[in-house]
Structures are given as structure tokens and as C-alpha cells.
Amino acid sequence: MPAEHAPSFGRSNGSELRLDRLVKRFSRGEPAVQIDELRIRAGEFVTLVGPSGCGKTTTMRMIAGLEDPSEGEIYFGGKPVVDLSVQRRNVAMVFQNYALYPHMRVSENLEYGLKKRGVPRAEREVRVLAVARMLRIDGMLDRRPRQLSGGEQQRVALGRAIIRTPEVLLLDEPLSNLDAKLRTFMRAELVKLQRQVGCTTVFVTHDQLEAMTMSDRIAVMRSGRIQQFDTPQDIYNHPANLFVAGFIGSPPMNFIAGTAEGGGGGCTFRAQGLQLHVSDADCGGRLRPGDGRQVTLGIRPEHVGLDGGSGDLAAVVSVVELIGAEKYVFLESEAGELIARTNADARLQPGDRLFCRFQRGKIRMFDSTTERACVEPLA
Ligand SMILES: Nc1ncnc2c1ncn2[C@@H]1O[C@H](COP(=O)(O)OP(=O)(O)OP(=O)(O)O)[C@@H](O)[C@H]1O
Ligand SMILES: [Mg+2]
């Protein structure tokens, strides 16, 4: 939307959000959250992604002020906020189970937070209308929540959060109870909305596709810790460890455990049925030298080419799945099972014998012991 047509309820002065040595312990043993540092730029859209129980909601609740950290500090625009109550932090939240007030009309739901803060009626009306237009719910301001579809209710919940133009907007799986089609639509809407409002946004999902498509940067979490904080592209192309490599991307990256000899310019990777010279260029960075160590080779399904004549690894097709525009080809080899993505026209069937060719430049290497990438990406 061109700026001159943008609704005039004001832009948020989104502020930098910084978590500093933030720890939350619910019981003895490993903390539920342990974040050394997370620095989110003003106006940035950052997604926390990770499996169930990895600490996403707990992190959000600490940012909001609903949960006290056991240790550490949180800064909004450089100001420490841990000692401030929820009301005194300029933060708004939409959670998975957003509850609208059922007895209030849409307009009353939207203006509720403003009214509580003593914003005069005339200004409330202007803002309600502007937010409702932006969310395209201006035709339903007099309805009650039960007279709205799931997607419309979702938009009211979002409207209620952004109407105060918070510094920090927290969204914890706000799309998870929508059907797939509406979810795809709301995903794009939400990103547009966030750009218009400008508030620093932390979004939680356990859907890696949602994280990839929506975010400026993604923080991948596991067991309370951040595994990698990077742009979607860098996370996809240069995963920092085996967990991130396996979590982001669908179907997931193929892994082959083996050994690497040599280094400093390249190595020879060996696994059952496979011997491959991997140069620095082949793995998109500088391979850290080491002799005969245990490594895991990673290659994404779209980088496994299939060839009837020759290639890196002999394989047999076990299953072929047609996924609309492409096919997922499941393969068995001496080095283990692999998945390749091919175009939908590829003529393949179970039992076919062929060769996998790993696209040079796309091979990734991980230390099997530390699970960390053993390639330094070239700047
Ligand atoms: N109030 C609580 N008391 C005790 N343990 C808790 C409490 N809240 C969360 N936990 C624990 O802290 C860990 C992190 O929980 P959290 O809700 O932050 O996970 P999550 O990443 O949001 O997961 P999900 O994707 O399932 O929503 C879990 O092991 C959970 O059992
Ligand atoms: Mg959660």
C-alpha cells in the first residue's frame, strides 16, 4: 500500500529488544530457557522456531512480563524492563488461544485497551476505524465474535494488539487454529501488517515453513537454547549444526555418516558404498582440516541429482511420491536411505537402479561428535 493511503493511526516506534543472559528455571536440573544473548533490531520480524517444549512460550512470557526470569535482563530500546509490570511495558501479545470478549462488539473489543489507558473517545474512534480498515474488518464492527469466522476473529485479535502501536509485538502461534488455506493467506497479511505498523515483532511457530517465509531472521531453539540466529537464507544454506540442518527444510536434509581424511583445500569423504573428494568449493566454504575424523555429510533433497548411467552413489528407488509440481523419490543405498526431489515428469518407479549425484557447492559437512558444521562459510 503506498504510504499516502496507509491508515493514519500512527506507526510504532519499534525499539531494539535485547535478551541478556536470560535464564528461566522451573525446577532443578536443566533450565527451561537459557539464552546468552538475543539482539533483535528495531522494527525487525524475528521468529522463534523449535520443537515442542524448547522454551518458546516461556521466552515470550518473560518478554511480556508474565513470567519472571530466574536470571538475566531484558532491554526495550536500551531500557531494562524486568522490574516493570506487564502494563508498564509497551508490549502487546496475541497468543494461540486469543480470547475475544464474547459479549462485546468488534469495535469494543478493538478499543478496549485504549479505553483502559484513558485515550479519549474521538481518538479511539479514529484508531478503531483505521485498524479495522487495515485488517479489512471495517464492515463488521457491530458484530459479536460468535458472528465471525475463525480468520475474522483472528484479525480482531491482531487489531486489538496493534491498535496501541506497541514497541514490541509478541505473537505466539497466532495462526495455528486456522485451516491451511486461511493460514497461508494470513501469513502474508501479517507480514504486510507488521511492515506497516513497524513494531519490533517476535513470532513463535513450530512450523519451519512459516518461519522461513515470514521472518527477517530466525532463532532456532532446542532445549531452551538458541542454536542459530540468522536470516532464513543463511539458516537454510549454512546450518550451524546437525539439529538446525535437520529441523529446517522439508523433506529434511539427507545425512550420511562417514570419515573425512585430509583437509586444507579438501578432503576425501568415505562411507559405505561412497568415496568422494570434497573440495572447499564443493562444500561452499573452507573445510576445517582434520585427519580421519568422524563426519556427517549433509545434502538437501533438491541437490541430489538422479542419473541412470553414473554418479557418486548407487541407489535403488523404493517409493515415489507425486507432490503436485514435483516428486519426492525415496532411495535405498549402501550409505543409507536418501530422499531426492525431482520434477513431476521424471519417469521413475520403485525398483529402478540409478546413481545419485551430489550437487557440488551444496555439500555440507558436520563433525559427528560435536554435531557442529565443520565448514566456515566464505564471506
Ligand atoms: N509453569 C511451568 N511450570 C513448570 N514447567 C513449565 C512451566 N511452563 C513451562 N514449563 C516447562 O518449560 C519447558 C518449555 O515450555 P514452553 O511452554 O516454553 O515450550 P514451547 O517451546 O512453547 O512448546 P510448544 O511448542 O509445545 O508450545 C517445557 O519443558 C515445559 O514443560
Ligand atoms: Mg508454546
- In this structure, the residue with its CA closest to atom 28 of ligand 1 is 53
CA atoms within 13 A on the CB side of 365: 35
121 domain-assigned: yes
Which of 50, 44, 40, 372 lies closest to 238 in space, CA to CA? 372
The pTM of this model reads: 0.90
Please indicate, yes or no, whether residues 64 and 134 belong to a single structural domain of this protein.
yes
- Tell me the residue type at 300: R
Phi, psi at 194, each rounded to 5°: -65, -40
Specify the CATH number for the domain of residue 27: 3.40.50.300
User: Does residue 260 contact residue 278 with C-beta atoms inside 8 Å?
Assistant: yes
User: Does residue 43 contact residue 191 with C-beta atoms inside 8 Å?
Assistant: no
What string of pLDDT tens digits covers the 379 residues of the chain? 344 344 445 666 789 999 999 999 999 889 999 999 999 999 999 999 999 999 999 999 999 999 999 999 999 999 999 999 998 999 999 887 778 999 999 999 999 989 988 999 999 999 999 889 888 899 999 999 999 988 888 889 989 998 988 999 999 988 877 778 878 888 888 898 888 888 999 999 988 889 999 999 999 999 999 999 999 999 999 999 999 999 999 999 999 999 998 866 788 999 999 999 999 889 888 887 677 789 999 999 999 999 999 999 999 999 999 999 999 999 999 999 999 999 999 999 999 999 999 999 999 999 999 999 988 766 6
- In this structure, the residue with its CA closest to atom 31 of ligand 1 is 53
Ligand 1: residues within 6 Å at CB? 26, 32, 52-58, 206
Beta pairing partners, 269: 260, 276
Which atom of ligand 1 approaches the CA of 60 most closely? Answer: 18
Please indicate, yes or no, whether residues 263 and 216 belong to a single structural domain of this protein.
no
Which ligand ends up closest to the CA of 221? 1
Which residue bears the cell 518458546?
56
What is the residue range of 278's domain? 253-377
Please indicate, yes or no, whether residues 358 and 261 belong to a single structural domain of this protein.
yes
Q: How far apart are CA 357 and CA 228, in angstroms?
A: 29
Judge residue 290's burial from the number of C-beta atoms within 10 Å of its C-beta, 0-12 exposed, 13-18 middle, 19 or more buried: middle
Dihedral sign from CA coordinates of 190, 192, 194, 196 = negative
Q: How far apart are CA 347 and CA 19, in angstroms?
A: 52
User: Does residue 145 contact residue 102 with C-beta atoms inside 8 Å?
Assistant: yes
Specify the CATH number for the domain of residue 367: 2.40.50.140
End residue of a domain, out of 210, 243, 276: 243
Tell me the residues surrounding ligand 2 (ion) with CB < 5 Å.
56-57
End residue of a domain, out of 216, 243, 270: 243
Test site for ligand 1: of 24, 25, 35, 57, most ligand atoms within 8 A of the Cβ:
57
Please indicate, yes or no, whether residues 182 and 103 belong to a single structural domain of this protein.
yes
Please indicate, yes or no, whether residues 324 and 179 belong to a single structural domain of this protein.
no
End residue of a domain, out of 195, 222, 243: 243
Q: Count how many domains the chain has.
A: 2
Which residue bears the cell 541412470?
308
Please indicate, yes or no, whether residues 238 and 257 belong to a single structural domain of this protein.
no
Test site for ligand 1: of 54, 63, 207, most ligand atoms within 8 A of the Cβ:
54
Please indicate, yes or no, whether residues 257 and 239 belong to a single structural domain of this protein.
no
